[in-house]
Amino acid sequence: MKSITYGELSFQEVCEKIKDYIDMDLQCTYVISIGTDSQNFSGLTKMVSVITLVRKSKGGIFFYDIKRLKIINDLRHKIFVETQYSLELAAKVMAYIQKKEIRAALEVHVDIGEGGDTKYLVKEIAGWVGALGFKCCIKPESYASTGIADKLSKKGSRVGCV
């Protein structure tokens, strides 16, 4: 994974940074949000997954990972792949925070909403995420996917750019 602040990190190092950040102020409320967005470029799909840690009313940090996949043109398929990546990452983060007894809410942010081309997917995707025990956030609350991951997925005109 990568961080604008810390550079290249292993998943374990990301988890340790999350723990360190929370340990700096144990009186605050924390939310860990995981989301994925993608864009198609030059015959490939650039998939960006993000882990954000928000210290309520006092800022936060984020980490991201970029994957390059065979192009996904079907919107429904693309949303399912994005959600799958987010759920896999969320499960790993959940295992870590439970093991370390970290007090933070965990949300999965999905790039869908009640308006627009993805409205027909809301019940299905939200049901999937909820069935796995995660809170599902959709537009406009899904800032990890619709804000951070979206911006990083669009950055650069080629899939190889970050």
CA distance 89 to 108: 9
What is this structure's pTM? 0.93
pLDDT digits (tens, 9 = 90+) for 8-40: 999 999 999 999 999 999 999 999 999 999 999
pLDDT digits (tens, 9 = 90+) for 131-145: 999 999 999 999 999
CB 144 within 8 A of CB 34: yes
Alpha-carbon gap, residue 1 to 7, rounded angstroms: 8
Question: What tokens does 56 get?
Answer: 């309520």
Distance of alpha carbon 33 from alpha carbon 18, whole angstroms: 12
What whole-number distance in Å separates Cα of residue 68 and Cα of residue 70?
7
Over the stretch 35-59, which tens digit does the pLDDT of each residue have?
999 999 989 999 999 999 999 989 9
Whether the pLDDT of residue 157 is over 50: the answer is no
122-131 helix and 75-99 helix, angle to the nearest 10 degrees: 20
